[in-house]
Structure 1
Amino acid sequence: MIDDRRSATWLDAELTRREDAESRMSAALLDLERHPGHVLLSDGTPTGTTGRRWAVAREALSGLWRDFAAYRSIVRAARAVRERRGRPGERELAELHRLLVEPSVEIARTAVALPERGLTGAPERVEVIALDGLAERMERAFAEVSRLAVEADAAHTAFLGELVPVLERLTEARRRAAALGIGPGDAETTTLADLDDRAAALHRLAATDPLARDAGTPAVELAALATGTRELADRLDRLVAQRDRWDADVHAARRALAELGRLRAEAEDALARAAELVAGPLPELPADERAALRAALDRVERASGWPVRAAGLTGLQVALAAAADGLRTAHRLAAGLLERRDELRGRFSAFAARAARLGRAEDPEVLELDERLRRLLWTTPCDLVAATQALAAYRRHLAPAAGQPGMSRTASEEVDAP
């Protein structure tokens, strides 16, 4: 039976098929070289996970190009044999069959150890492969390299997609810092420099080890960078807002400082009246901080740089509010003493009325307590502690009557009520 693969027709078709395959291989290899992932890997210096995988793929790629050169050399040699004569003879057909079908491509040479080769053995072991096997080997290498190129490009694109918005916010933060006149001595400058360094490191990582993104660490660092950038942007936004309302805030601080004078006067009046009308310990009047606060306001207005001015004004606003609260508290406590006296007077009147309803108003004990309470509550200064104790005794003295036979439930409840 005649082997069709040795016929001129089959060998011509096989040569044409191999030439077409060579053309497609060449195009695919050029596409691979132009692929963004291959450019990223080959033009840079991959590190980490990407570097380790690229080292393996780069060896495969080098072998792929060597195999392609060998493939092309065999195909061109076969074309040269075919073009010797219009109709190939037996010699040409045998040569074409050897090149296109038989193992004709040398892919490796291995030295043979002396004990293994013997006296007459070859010093080298030559490994050859047919074009079909060579093509399959190239397909595997191409798949490995192209898969890594596509993966690296996708990871790099995703990495930048997450990083670029943060970089844009950093650029905007630098613009705002410049507009605010923030200089080397300001904390915002140090923060911005730190964020820039971290962003640059992530940008380098995106280029040199994009596959590290899948490991998780860059994601954590990127999230921290985004948080730091957002916090700085918020801080700069607040500075811008404080700059824009600066005149109004300073004017409000002046009003608050003037208001402290009114609050102090009211607290002093309340404390003086309480001292006159009530005996016992009185609330203390807070120290007068107006001079110190006025000096602080002057320093704020003279300060240079918005971070310093804003921090100074914020601290001043807090101090002004605290001083006002202290004076309001002193006023409230002083007024509360007088309110307590009035409350005790009202409670005494209510108990006296109940004593009359219960028929106890002329009891000697009730008359004695009644006289004592009137003396305590209507004598200046009023001893609130003693009055409170006497009123409690008054209430206790009326309480036994609630348990007497014949007393109505209503009368009993009146005694127990405050």
Structure 2
Amino acid sequence: MPTFTQADGADGIDGAAAERLATEQDHIVECLINLEEHLGRRLLDATMVAGVTLERRAKVLDDFATLWARYESYRIVAVEVRTIMARSPVTQADLREVRELVTRAAELAGAIQTIYGRIHEVVVATDEVWTVMASRIDVCDTLLDQAHTLVANLSLAAGQDSAAGVVTELADRFNHLRRIALADPLRFWAHGAVAVDEVDQLIAQCEQVRADLQTLAELRQHGPRLLDELNATLIEVRRLEEQISAERRRVNVKILAAPVMEEGAQSMDLLGPRLATALELYRCEHWRQLASDLPVLERDAQAARKRAQAELIETGRPLRQRAELRGRLSAYRAKAAGLGRIEDLALEQRYQRARTLLWRAPCDLAVAAAAVAQYQDAVNAMAAEEHSP
């Protein structure tokens, strides 16, 4: 806010007093005109206001009338000073009168500054509130438009979907807030700043519901692909479980007392109906329920695939153990041949016993492993004899 000061004290009268008063007068009138043209003042004049703003505007109008009246008095004083100081010669009586006029001008300048400050505070606050609130109202309006469009595209009804009801509620709150912001902006002015907590909270809630609806819209758009991928996962699970069943049967036939014996529950028996339900939810456009069920079903399908992959590996473990024993037996048979002991009767009997156990169905892995170990030990003992001095 500009400061209006009297250039001359009562004891400092000289020939330039009139010029200094004229300069001060020009400064004052320029400030008053700028205040009249301030955007906040124009907004107050051009808008139907109510409440706190209506009361403050009435006070501003009264203050403007008083302000211009004080300025007019100041102007008259300045003219009188110029008239007196233009006399020739200027008498002591003239100087005493000028001193009184200068004192009066200083009092008027102080009053003008006080009134100016009150008006300036109101018009600046009005401009600031409208500026700050307008940008936030635009953001909120855009978010609600997007939310309404999503609700319409998703064919959601307020009584059927929570988000649709929330959008309606938020729109009512927004319209109420916008009416207040336009009609009574100074209601949002507190402690020298715009009170934005309420509108910012509304924006956050609009963003949240818009994001929620956007998730449903993306599900509507990408649902066929997601359901196809889920179906492909379940087909893979079915294939793995069929392989597990086939492998289990092989193990039960070929391995005696295999640890994997019983058929487990088929994941497809549980997941298949849930996929059918998800497909029906998509067909019936029950987006909210589908958004809730589909991620869980996808997670369960992935878990079922991992379990099936691990179970397939575990189911075939006895056959891999038998294959490893067969490979070890063949390797030590070759080692015995390299030692020239292939014709050794006792060693050959151990080999034939281990081989018979490994190629018998069902194979007793524990007994076969012991027989292979005995043959291996015998071959290693012969090798040690070959290298002993």
Instruction: Classify the TM-score, shorter chain.
Output: 0.5 to 0.7
Q: Distance in 2 between matches of 1:35 and 1:390?
A: 105
Going from structure 1 to structure 2, the CA distance change for 1:75 and 1:186 (only over 3 Å counts) comes to: same
Instruction: Provide the residue aligned with 1:299 in structure 2.
Output: 277
Q: Does the C-alpha gap of structure 1 residues 198 and 319 become closer, same or farther in structure 2, counting only changes over 3 Å?
A: farther
Pair 1:287 & 2:265 matched: yes
SS in 2 for 1:281: coil
Distance 1:244 1:169 in 2: 20
* Aligned-pair CA distance for 1:350: 0.7
Does 2:76 correspond to 1:76?
yes
1:395 aligns with 2:376: yes
Taking structure 1 as the reference length, the TM-score comes to: 0.60
Shift in CA distance, 151/347, structure 1 to aligned 2, threshold 3 Å: farther
CA distance in 1: counterparts of 2:378 and 2:177, whole angstroms: 84
Note if contact 1:182-1:307 (Cα within 8 Å) is conserved in structure 2: no
Compared CA separation, residues 385 and 140, structure 1 to 2 (3 A): farther
Match runs of 1:342-381 below 5 Å: 342-361=323-342, 366-381=347-362
Following the alignment from structure 2 to structure 1, what is the Cα–Cα distance between the partners of residues 349 and 19? Answer: 137
Match 2:150 to one of 161, 173, 176 = 176
Mapped to 2, the partners of 1:384 and 1:197 lie a distance apart of 77
1:162-188 C-alpha deviation (Å, 9 max, x unpaired): 885576345423422332133445454
**Does residue 246 of structure 2 align to residue 269 of structure 1?**
yes
The aligned counterpart of 1:109 is: none
1:69-218 to structure 2, matched below 5 A, reads 69-76=69-76, 93=94, 97-101=98-102, 103-104=103-104, 131-132=105-106, 135=109, 165=139, 168-169=142-143, 171-184=145-158, 185-186=160-161, 188-189=163-164, 207-209=188-190
| TM-score, normalised by the number of residues in structure 2 | 0.63
- RMSD over equivalenced CA pairs, Å: 5.6
Alignment of 1:386 with 2:363, yes or no, is no
1:27 to 1, 17, 33: 33
**How far is the alpha carbon of 1:378 from its aligned partner?**
0.8
Q: Which runs of 5+ in 2 are unaligned?
A: 1-10
How far, CA to CA, are the matches of 2:297 and 2:43 in structure 1? 57
Letter in 2 for 1:345: R
The percent identity for this pair of structures is 23
* Matched-pair contact (CA < 8 Å) for 2:125–2:189: no
What residue in structure 2 maps to residue 112 of structure 1? none
CA distance in 1, matches of 2:312, 2:12: 117
Code of the residue aligned with 1:357 in structure 2: it is G
| Displacement of 1:272 | 1.1
Residue by residue, what CA displacement relative to the aligned partner does 1:209-264 show, whole Å, maximum 9, x if unpaired?
A: 596689xx97xx969976x8767655544432332344455566566666665544
Cα deviation for residue 78 of structure 1 reads 6.6
- The answer to whether the Cα contact below 8 Å between 1:22 and 1:72 also exists between their aligned partners in 2 is no
CA, structure 1 residues 300+147, in 2 after alignment: closer, same or farther (shift >3 Å)? Answer: same
Residue aligning to 2:318? 337
1:25 deviation in Å?
3.9
Tell me if structure 1 keeps the 8 A contact 2:67–2:116: no
Which amino acid in the other structure matches residue 98 of structure 2? H
Kindly report which structure 2 residues correspond to 1:231-246, keeping only aligned pairs within 5 A, or say none.
Answer: 235-246=212-223
Go from structure 1 to structure 2 and tell me whether the alpha carbon gap of 1:320 and 1:387 turns closer, same or farther (over 3 Å shift): same
Structure-2 change in CA distance of 1:314 and 1:45 (3 Å):
same
Instruction: Give CA deviations for 1:84-118 in whole Å, capped at 9, x if unaligned.
Output: 9x9899799468515532x33xxxxxxxxxxxxxx
In structure 2, how many angstroms separate the alpha carbons of the residues matched to 1:402 and 1:195?
A: 89
> Partners of 1:362 and 1:201 in 2: how far apart?
104
- Give the deviation of 1:281 after TM superposition: 1.3
Cα distance between partner residues in 2 of 1:159 and 1:176: 25
CA distance in 2, matches of 1:319, 1:141: 74
Q: Is the 8 A contact 1:18 1:75 kept in 2?
A: no
Report the number of matched residues: 358
- Tell whether the 8 Å contact from 2:166 to 2:209 is kept in structure 1 after alignment: yes
1:107 alignment counterpart: none
Q: 1:300 touches 1:309 (CA, 8 Å); kept in 2?
A: yes
359 and 197 in structure 1: CA distance in 2 versus 1, 3 angstrom threshold? farther
* 8 Å contact from structure 1 (residues 361, 367) kept in 2: yes
Separation in structure 2 between the aligned mates of residue 319 and residue 147 of structure 1, nearest angstrom: 64
Distance in structure 1 (CA, Å) of the matches to 2:106 and 2:307: 94
CA contact (8 A) 1:376 1:386 kept: yes
